[in-house]
Structure 1
Amino acid sequence: MKKLLPLLTLLLLYMATATAQQTPDILPLRDRAVLEDALLQERLEKLLPDLMRRNGIAMWLIVAREYNEDPVASTMLPATWLAARRRTILLFTDLGQGKGVEKLAVARYDIGSLLKAAWEPEQEPNQWKRLATLIADRNPKNIGLNYSPTFAHADGLTKAEYDSLLHYLPAAQKQKVVSAERLAVDWLQTRTPHELELYEQISRLGHDIIAEGFSEKAVVPGKTTTEDVVWWFRERIAERKLTAWFHPTVDIQRANPGAGDSQRPFSERPAQEVIQPGDLLHVDLGITYLGLNTDVQQLAYMLKPGETQAPPYLRKALATGNRLQDILTSAFREGKTGNQVLKEALAKAKQENINATIYSHPIGYHGHGAGPAIGMWDQQQDVPGTGDYPLRYNTAYAIELNAKVTLPEWNNKEIRVMLEEQAVFTPKEVYYIDGKQQELLLIPRVNQQ
C-alpha cells in the first residue's frame, strides 16, 4: 500500500484534469495496469475486512481454474494476470478487529504483490492437501464458498472443485462450510471513493461517445442507417482503446411507423432503417474501462430543415422520463429490497399518471451487476431472488426505465421515452455519476449552444 497509493493519487489527479466540458484522457495500458492494481490493493486492505465482518464470514475461499474463472476471482487478479493460472486458490482469513485480513494464494506463484504464495509443490505435491492444512491451522469458525442459487456472480465454485475440496477437508472443517453469497455480492457491488472518482470520468467518456455518434460526424439524413451508427459506435470505442461490453442498439421512433420503429417487442433487436429528419433516435451503449462498466440509453432528435430545436412535445416527453427517474431514485433506502423499491416507484408513477416500466440494476465490475434487481423489462412485479436483495450504500446502479407517452402531434401514437444512466447510492443521496440527459441531443449538433 505504501508504494502504490501515492501513485494512485497522482493518476487520479491526472484523470481529473478534464473539466466538466472536456473528454478525459485515456490512460496508456501500462498506466492503467498500475492504477487498477492500486485500486485492487486498496479494496483488499480497506474494504474487504469490513465486508467479511458485516457478512459474518471468518474465512473466504475462492477457487478458480484457467479458462473457468470464478466471477469474483477475476476481480481479484492483477491487471497483468489476464486469467487464472492452472488452479488458483485465494484464501482470505479475518484476523480480528483492527488486524485486517490475511491474504494468501494457495498457488505456485505469488499473485503479483497482492497475495503471497502459500504452496510449495516440492514439499507437498497435492495442492488440496496443502489447502486443507492451511485451513486446519487457522481453524476458522466458518468457511465461505462461492455457491448461490440466486446470483450467477456468486456461484463460481464448480461442482468438481467443490467435491475435491470436501474430499480433502477434515471432518471438523466440513461442518463449517457456508455460502459466501452475500459477501461475494457486496464485494462486487460496493465502490470505494477512489473508484467513484474514476467512475465519473468513465461515464463521461461514454456520454461523449454517444454525443459524437449522434451528430453530423456520424449521421447524414436520408443516407445513414441505424446499423451504420451502431457500427460507428463500435469502431469509435475500439479506436479509443476501450471495450464495448455488449453490441449497441440504435433505433428510431417517428410519426409514421417504420420497420425499425420501437413499437417492436423489447425482446427483438430493431431492424435497420434510414435516418430521416424528424426522427427520434435512441441508443443503448455500454463501455468498459479500468475494470468498470457503463450502461447508458439516451435520445436524439434529427432536426428538420429550418428547425433549431426539438419540438416542444418531444421535450415534454423527455421531461416525463426525467420525472420517472426522480420517482425511482427517491424510493431508495438502505435495507429496502429491490422489489420494495419497484413497488413504491410504480405506485407513485401511477399516481402521477405516468405509464412506467422500470428495470434498473446494479453496475460495476459487471454491466448487469450483482445486487438487487429493481424490476425486469418483462416483470413489473416482484423479481424472485435477486429482487429480494437489500440495497446497500456506496453502490452504483444503472437507472434504466421507460415512460410511455402518447403524442397527439403524431396522430396519438404512443412512444417510449427510454432512458438509462449511472447513479450512486450513498448515505447522503442518490446522485448521477456524470449527470443525466435532460435535453434531447440534436443532429446536427452545431445548432446547440
Structure 2
Amino acid sequence: MTETEFVRPELPVILPQRDRAAVIDEILAERLETVIPAIMREQGVDFWLLMSREYFEDPVTATMLDAESMHARRRTILVFHDPGNGQPVERLTVSRYGLADLFEASWSPEAQPDQWQAVADIITHRDPAKIAVNFSDLTAFGDGMTLSQYRAFTEALPEGYEDRIVSGEALSIRWLESRTPRELEIYPGIVRIAHSIIGTAFSREVITPGKTSVEEVQWWYRERLAELGLTPWFHPSVGVQRQGREGMLRGSEVIQPGDLLWTDFGIAYLRLNTDTQHLAYVLKPGETRAPAGLVAGLKATNRVQDLLLESFEAGLSGNEVLARARAKALAEGLDPSIYSHPIGFHGHGAGTAIGFWDNQNGDPRGAYPVQAGTTWSIELTNYHKVPEWGGQRVDFRSEEDAWFDGERVRFLDGRQTELTLIPFD
C-alpha cells in the first residue's frame, strides 16, 4: 500500500487464466478456513445453510464457488456447522456434484432421492441451536433464499426445528466485507491496474482535443479491457465540465482545450473490484498548468477526504461517520457531498454506507457499524467556486480505494492530489 499515486503508472503483469484460477482458489481456501469460523462464533450461529440454483446464485454462494465452477449446478446447497469446543467447522455440500476439495460431499441421490430431506437428516443428526438461512429486508447480499426453496426446506424439517431458523444477513455481510491478508497482498496491484488504464485514457494517446468525444473515451476503456482479458463491473463514465456550461457534459460532446474531465472506472480481477474517479485538465494553447482555481478545487476535495478518513471508528455506524465528517467539513467552510461505500467481491460492496449523493442526512442502509478489516471506496466531492471561470461552482469528484484496519484508513494505491494534464499538442 502507498499514499503516493503516480500520474501514469506502469501496467502490472496480468496473469493468464490458469494462474488466476490458482490464486482465486488459494484465497478461497484461506477464507473458508479463517473467516467462516470467526464470523460464525462472532454471531453465535452454529449452522449456516446456503442454497443456490443454476444461474440464480445467492450472492454469498457465488463467492464460494471454486475457479472452475462458473455457476451453481442444478441446486447447490452448502452447509457450515460449528460443533463447538474449538473443533473445526464442518463444510458440507448437499449437491449432486461436488465442489473441488473445499466442501465434503454429503449426499447420495441414490440412497436419498430427496435433496431437502438429505439436508433435514444432516440437521437432525447435528441438532444445531440456530439454523441461519439468507433472508433480509435490507440488503440483497443476505437475501439469497427464495420463497419456493424456503418452503421446500422447512417442509422437510422435523417438528420444532423451524423455530430455530434465524437470518443469515449478518453472516453474509461479514463474509463478504472481511478481507484476508492474502487479499490485501494483491489488492493494491489490482487498483494499480485500474490507475494505469485511467492514466492512458487521460492522455494524448487516447484524447485529441477538438476531435475526441466523451463516448469515444468510454468505449476505448471497454476495448482496452477486452484486450487485457479484464472485465468492467459497470460501463465506464466520462464527463466534461466547461466554463460557462452547467453540469456534466456527456455522450457525443467533443473534448475541448480548457475542459475539466472526470472519469468513473472500475474493474473486476481475481474476484476483487476497484472503483476510481479521477480528474484531468485539457491545457489550452500556450498553457503549462491548470488554472489556480481548479487546482484549489481538487485540494479542497482532498481535505474532505482527510476529514472523512479521520472520522472512521470501528463500531460507529456509517451514519455516525458521515455526520462527523460533514460537521468538520462544513466548519471549515467546505461544500461537501459524501457517499462512500464498501468494496471487495462487489463494486458496491456489503457493509454500511457512509452517505448517498442524494441523502446526506443518514439512511437505514448506513445504520450498520463500520468494521475493522474492511476495504472501502472513499467516494465524495466538494463543490468549489472557480474564479477563472467567473465564480462558477464546479464539482470536484474523487474516488479512491482504501483499507480500514480498525485504527486508520490507508489508500491501497494512493490518491489523486494533482490534476492530470492533457497537452493541447
Verify the 8 A CA contact 2:209 2:424 in the aligned structure 1: no
Q: 2:214 aligns with which of 226, 247, 252?
A: 226
SS at match of 1:183: helix
Counterpart secondary structure, 1:171: coil
Question: Residue 299 of structure 2 aligns to which amino acid in structure 1?
Answer: A
Match of 1:283 among 258, 263, 269: 263
Deviations 1:264-296 (A, max 9, x none): 7xxxxx343111111110001110000010111
Secondary structure of residue in 2 paired with 1:178? strand
8 Å CA contact 2:50–2:58 kept in 1: the answer is: yes
Partner of 1:267: none
> CA separation in 2, counterparts of 1:421 and 1:396?
11
Distance 2:367 2:137 in 1: 13
- Could you tell me the TM-score, scaled by structure 2's length? 0.96
State the match for 2:363 in structure 1.
383
Partner of 1:427: 406
Is contact 2:309–2:408 with CA below 8 Å preserved after alignment? Answer: no
Matched-pair contact (CA < 8 Å) for 1:57–1:144: yes
Residue 400 of structure 1 corresponds to 379
Residue 3 of structure 2: aligned partner: none
Q: How many residues align?
A: 418
| Greater RCO, CA 8 A, separation 6+ | 2
2:149 aligned with 1:170, yes or no?
Answer: no
**Displaced runs of 4 or more, over 3 A:** none
Which of 112, 122, 133 lines up with 1:134 in the alignment? 122
Aligned AA (1:435): G
Whether 2:179 is the aligned partner of 1:200: answer no
Deviates more, 1:305-314 or 1:235-244: 305-314
Describe the SS at the equivalent of 2:395: strand
Query: Displacement, 1:210?
Result: 0.4
Of the candidates 166, 176, 179, which is equivalent to residue 191 of structure 1?
179
CA distance in 1, matches of 2:314, 2:85: 24
Task: State how far apart, in whole Å, the 2-side matches of 1:57 and 1:199 are.
Answer: 30
Deviation at 1:98, TM superposition (A): 3.2
Per-residue CA deviations over 1:123-147 (Å, capped at 9, x if unaligned) read 0000011110001101111001100
Query: What is the distance in 1 between the residues matched to 2:339 and 2:75?
Result: 37
Question: What does 1:16-165 align with in structure 2 at a 5 Å threshold?
Answer: 21-165=9-153
Correspondence 1:272 to 2:245: no
Q: Is the 8 A contact 2:371 2:406 kept in 1?
A: no
1:184-216: CA deviation from partner (whole Å, max 9, x where unpaired): 001001100110111101000001100000001
Which 5+ residue runs of structure 1 have no aligned equivalent?
A: 1-19, 265-269
* Partner Cα distance (1:321, 1:80) in 2: 43
CA distance in structure 2 between the partners assigned to 1:46 and 1:408 by the alignment: 54
Aligned match for 2:301, one of 298, 317, 321: 321
| 8 A Cα contact 1:357 1:401, kept in partner | yes
How far did residue 21 of structure 1 move? Answer: 4.8
Residue pair 1:203, 1:422 contacting (<8 A) in 2 also: yes
Please say if residues 215 and 445 of structure 1, whose CA atoms lie closer than 8 Å, have aligned partners that are also in contact.
no
Identity rate of aligned residues, in percent?
A: 49
Which amino acid is 2:317 matched to?
T
